[in-house]
Amino acid sequence: MNIVRKIKTTELPILTQLFNYKDIDDMIAENTCNIENGIVDIFALFDNGKLIGELHVKYDNEDKDFAEKGKRAYLFAFRVHKDYQGKGLGSYLLETVIDELNANGYHELTVGVEDDNNRARYMYEKHGFVHPIARIKETYQGDSYEYDLLLRKETL
């Protein structure tokens, strides 16, 4: 049985099951602070209690292209365990999060997608992320990323 729910700060270490963080303590500290301050939620997809997917949502950002409190949310760190890919579970997680965000007044959503990730780009476009609004370059834990920031606007 698949369940999507927000994880608690005490559960943050389980995220290492889906991503090889270079500095786990830093990841836990950063996410704990952001969750406690209402800046981020981390939605997790479980299959019979096993973590199989995650999707982080940021509600506010200095760069308003990404997120603006009460208006636009940024979706990132979207992962599905390789053994569960290709089964529609990523779409299920994404749709569940989109529905919750829409219900909470977020009708503009953004997501970043790298040039070589055609599978993700296809899924995002299928879910309405069709407006490129920025080209982003950033570094996280020593790794550099370059990607398109795509916008999805919900018609009211």
Q: Mind listing the pLDDT tens digit for each residue in 20-63?
A: 999 999 999 999 999 999 999 999 999 999 999 999 999 999 99
Instruction: Give residues with Cβ within 8 angstroms of 32, minimum separation 6.
Output: 9, 12
Tokens 């779409």 sit on residue? 91
Confidence of residue 143 (pLDDT cuts 50, 70, 90): confident
Q: d(Cα 15, Cα 29) in Å, to the nearest integer?
A: 13
Assign 117 to helix, strand or coil: coil
Instruction: Give residues with Cβ within 8 angstroms of 105, minimum separation 6.
Output: 70, 71
Fold of 2-153: Aminopeptidase (3.40.630)
Domain edges within the chain = 2-153
Q: What is the pLDDT of residue 14?
A: 96
Assign 79 to helix, strand or coil: strand
